[in-house]
C-alpha cells in the first residue's frame, strides 16, 4: 500500500499482529528522547482545563515563543501543528499558481489543490545532492507564481540551503510578487540558519515551524507561523478558532523554557546521526545524503535486489518502520528515509537491514 506519511504504528501492528510497543518507528522523525521531563505531571495537573474552551489566543504559548525567538507577539500565530497552516494559507491568500521545491511534504500540494491553486514543481535530484540551484530557481520564478513552498532543511533529503541563499530567493520572490512559504519544521538542529528574522525585511515571507518533532509531542499537535504582523493578522482573522487544545498549549509553552532538554536533544541527535549515517554507508549498495535534520535519506543502487516499497514491507514484518520515499514527487523506488533514534535502536535497524537485503 502506498502511504503519504510515516508513523503508521497502529496500522502495522494490526496488519502483522505485532504489539505496538515492540514496533520501532524510523518512519516518523520524532525526538528519540521523548517529550521533555515533567510533561506527564503537567498534563495530569492541567487535566481539568479541558472543561473549558482552550485560550483562543494561546497567550502563554505565544509569549513563550516570543521570548524563545526574541520576536514580538504580533509576528507569531499558533496552530494545530504547522500542517494546519498549509490549508489556511491558500484559503486566505488565494494564490492562483504555486511552485513547490520537490521532493516535498505532500500536505503543501493538498492544501493548495483544495483551494484550486495550480501547482508546479521545481525538482531537485539525487545526482546533484538534492541541492537547489538558486539562479535556476529565481529564473523559474519569472514564470510568475503567486506562492512558493520551500522546506529547509528539506524533507525527505535533509539538505540545508544556507540562510543567505534562501534570502536571495525570498528577495527575488518579492520582486516577482510571490509569497514565499519557508517550512522550517526541521530547523531546530541548525537554528542559526533560520530565516525567521527576515520577516522584518520581507513582507512576502511566511515561516512555518513545528513543535511536534523536536519536542516529541506529535499527538498534541502544536505548530506556528511567523510573518509580518499584517500577514499574521490576516490569517488570524480567517482561521477557525480553538484549534490548539489547552493541554498542547501548556506543554508546548513549558517545553520552550527547558534549556537542558533542548541542549541534550541537539547533542544527542547530532552524535547519533553521525553514527547512523556511517553505519548505513557501510552497507553494500547504500549511499546516504548529508543531513541537517533528524533523519537520513538513503539511496540503494542496483546491487540491492529490493526496491524501497519491498524493503519497507520486509522490515515492517520484523516490526521496523522506515519511510519508503517512492510516494515523493520524482523520487522513484530506490530511496528510503530513516529517523535518527536511540543508539540501541539504530543498531537493530542496521542488523535487520543487512539481513533483509542479503
Residues that bind ligand PLP (CB under 6 A): 81-83, 105, 151, 155, 183, 185, 210, 212, 218, 223
Report whether 290 contacts 159 (CB < 8 A).
Answer: yes
Angstrom distance (rounded) from CA 279 to CA 300: 14
Intra-chain end-to-end CA distance of the chain, in Å? 24
Task: Kindly tell me which of 151 and 235 has the beta carbon lying closer to ligand PLP.
Answer: 151
Angstrom distance (rounded) from CA 342 to CA 181: 32
Angstrom distance (rounded) from CA 61 to CA 210: 13
Angstrom distance (rounded) from CA 240 to CA 54: 13
Beta strands in 97-239 (DSSP E): 97-102, 118-123, 147-151, 179-183, 205-210, 223-227
Minimum CB–partner distance for residue 40 and ligand PLP (Å):
20
Residue with cell 529490493: 306
Phi, psi for 263 (deg, rounded to 5):
-65, -45
Quickly count: other Cβ atoms within 10 Å of residue 193's Cβ.
Answer: 17
Report whether 198 contacts 170 (CB < 8 A).
Answer: yes
Task: Kindly tell me which of 214 and 299 has the beta carbon lying closer to ligand PLP.
Answer: 214
Polymer length of the chain: 358
Minimum CB–partner distance for residue 326 and ligand PLP (Å):
16
Beta strands in 107-234 (DSSP E): 118-123, 147-151, 179-183, 205-210, 223-227
Cα 34 to Cα 101, 188, 264, 289: the distances in Å are 31, 15, 12, 25
Task: Kindly tell me which of 183 and 279 has the beta carbon lying closer to ligand PLP.
Answer: 183
Report whether 39 contacts 352 (CB < 8 A).
Answer: no
Minimum CB–partner distance for residue 351 and ligand PLP (Å):
27
Minimum CB–partner distance for residue 105 and ligand PLP (Å):
4
Angstrom distance (rounded) from CA 154 to CA 184: 8
Residue nearest to ligand PLP (CB): 81
Task: Kindly tell me which of 29 and 204 has the beta carbon lying closer to ligand PLP.
Answer: 29
Task: Kindly tell me which of 178 and 210 has the beta carbon lying closer to ligand PLP.
Answer: 210
Minimum CB–partner distance for residue 224 and ligand PLP (Å):
9
Minimum CB–partner distance for residue 279 and ligand PLP (Å):
24
Taking every pair of C-alpha atoms in the chain, what is the biggest distance, in angstroms?
59
Minimum CB–partner distance for residue 24 and ligand PLP (Å):
18
Task: Kindly tell me which of 117 and 357 has the beta carbon lying closer to ligand PLP.
Answer: 117
Task: Kindly tell me which of 82 and 288 has the beta carbon lying closer to ligand PLP.
Answer: 82
Phi, psi for 210 (deg, rounded to 5):
-115, 145
Quickly count: other Cβ atoms within 10 Å of residue 138's Cβ.
Answer: 16
Minimum CB–partner distance for residue 89 and ligand PLP (Å):
13
Radius of gyration of the chain (CA): 20
Task: Kindly tell me which of 279 and 341 has the beta carbon lying closer to ligand PLP.
Answer: 341
Task: Kindly tell me which of 81 and 319 has the beta carbon lying closer to ligand PLP.
Answer: 81
Minimum CB–partner distance for residue 133 and ligand PLP (Å):
21
Task: Kindly tell me which of 4 and 274 has the beta carbon lying closer to ligand PLP.
Answer: 4
Minimum CB–partner distance for residue 210 and ligand PLP (Å):
3
Amino acid at each position: 500500500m502506498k502511504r503519504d506519511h510515516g508513523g503508521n504504528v497502529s496500522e502495522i501492528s494490526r496488519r502483522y499482529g505485532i504489539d505496538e510497543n515492540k514496533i520501532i518507528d524510523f518512519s516518523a522523525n520524532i525526538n528519540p528522547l521523548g517529550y521533555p521531563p515533567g510533561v506527564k505531571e503537567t498534563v495530569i495537573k492541567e487535566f481539568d482545563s479541558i472543561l473549558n474552551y482552550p485560550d483562543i489566543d494561546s497567550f502563554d504559548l505565544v509569549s513563550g515563543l516570543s521570548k524563545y525567538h526574541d520576536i514580538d507577539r504580533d509576528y507569531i500565530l499558533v496552530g494545530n501543528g504547522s500542517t494546519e497552516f498549509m490549508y489556511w494559507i491558500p484559503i486566505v491568500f488565494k494564490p492562483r499558481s504555486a511552485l513547490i521545491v520537490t521532493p516535498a511534504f505532500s500536505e503543501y500540494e493538498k492544501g493548495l489543490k483544495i483551494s484550486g491553486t495550480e501547482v508546479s514543481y521545481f525538482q531537485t535530484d539525487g545526482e546533484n545532492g538534492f541541492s537547489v540551484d538558486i539562479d535556476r530557481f529565481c529564473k523559474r520564478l519569472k514564470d510568475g507564481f503567486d506562492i512558493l513552498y520551500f522546506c529547509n532543511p528539506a524533507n525527505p533529503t535533509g539538505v540545508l540551503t544556507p540562510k543567505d541563499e534562501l534570502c536571495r530567493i525570498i528577495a527575488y520572490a518579492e520582486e516577482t510578487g510571490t509569497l514565499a512559504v519557508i517550512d522550517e519544521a526541521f530547523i531546530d538542529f541548525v537554528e542559526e540558519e533560520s530565516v525567521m528574522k527576515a520577516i522584518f525585511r520581507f513582507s512576502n515571507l511566511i515561516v512555518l515551524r513545528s513543535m511536534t518533532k523536536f519536542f516529541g509531542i506529535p499527538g498534541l499537535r502544536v505548530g506556528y507561523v511567523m510573518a509580518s504582523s499584517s500577514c499574521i493578522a490576516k490569517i488570524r482573522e480567517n482561521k477557525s478558532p480553538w484549534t490548539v487544545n489547552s493541554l498542547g498549549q501548556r506543554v508546548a509553552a513549558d517545553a520552550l523554557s527547558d534549556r537542558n532538554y533542548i541542549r541534550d536533544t541537539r547533542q544527542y541527535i547530532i552524535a547519533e546521526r553521525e553514527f547512523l549515517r556511517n553505519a548505513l554507508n557501510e552497507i553494500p549498495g547504500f549511499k546516504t545524503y548529508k543531513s541537517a535534520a533528524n533523519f537520513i535519506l538513503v539511496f540503494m543502487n542496483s546491487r540491492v535486489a529490493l526496491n524501497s516499497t519491498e524493503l519497507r514491507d520486509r522490515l515492517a514484518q520484523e516490526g521496523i518502520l522506515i519511510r519508503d520515499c517512492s510516494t515523493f514527487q520524482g523520487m522513484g523506488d530506490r530511496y528510503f528515509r530513516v529517523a535518527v533514534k536511540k543508539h540501541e535502536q539504530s543498531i537493530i535497524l542496521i542488523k535487520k537491514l543487512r539481513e533483509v537485503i542479503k
